[in-house]
Structure 1
Amino acid sequence: MSTNSDHEQRMHPRWILKSNVSVFERQSKEYLGLLVDCSEQGVMISTYEQLQPGTQLLLDLVDIAPNVNTRRTGQCSAEVVWCDKITPSLYGNGCRISQQDDILGMMLKSYRHAHD
């Protein structure tokens, strides 16, 4: 686990989500947790398991946008940068996005615009 000072070194502001976004490991389709917040270059994921900093992940992020009857699935490659225990059974994991598809880019922009 890292100290809180790592969180303060972010280059981009974070946006709190107004919808549920589930996070899955792309190849195994295993459910990892929920997206807590995001920025242009990073995401925070709440998980039941601790993710080790330095871990490379291939992720599918699935949301159902408010007032829309379809779901969106965006994909990215990300590296776990930090992990903190946030409750006795949940971990917060900060991840830096290294690559993302166009759908995830559109999803992240929609989360940002929900705050404008």
Structure 2
Amino acid sequence: MFLLDVTHAFDDAILRRLSSKDDWYIWADYLYHFRSLITVEQGELPVYLGIGGRLKLQESNEDKFGIRFPVGLAYEFAGVPVDVFLEVVPIWDVALSYDFDLEGGFGVRFYF
């Protein structure tokens, strides 16, 4: 994740699906962090909202491009450029195929 300041960030990823299919996901999101909603003793626990795009390249040639709307919660460790996050992401596919997806995830992000 690339931090513009304490409130604004860009998050992007490229990943390959870990199954028998050769599917690839590429996305980039703008994230806005609400830092004062939840307070913790150490670190920070911001809620974030965002908007972005996703390209889903599928082995079955049913490729999709969609608009992402990530909503999440991230624990940011004090003094370390790392967070642990949990998010839900509605996606509206608007090109190559028309569909609505609801994805989610959890993981670790490094800040730049």
In the superposition, the TM-score normalised over structure 1's length comes to: 0.36
Instruction: Decide which structure has greater helix share.
Output: 1
* TM-score when normalising by structure 2: 0.37
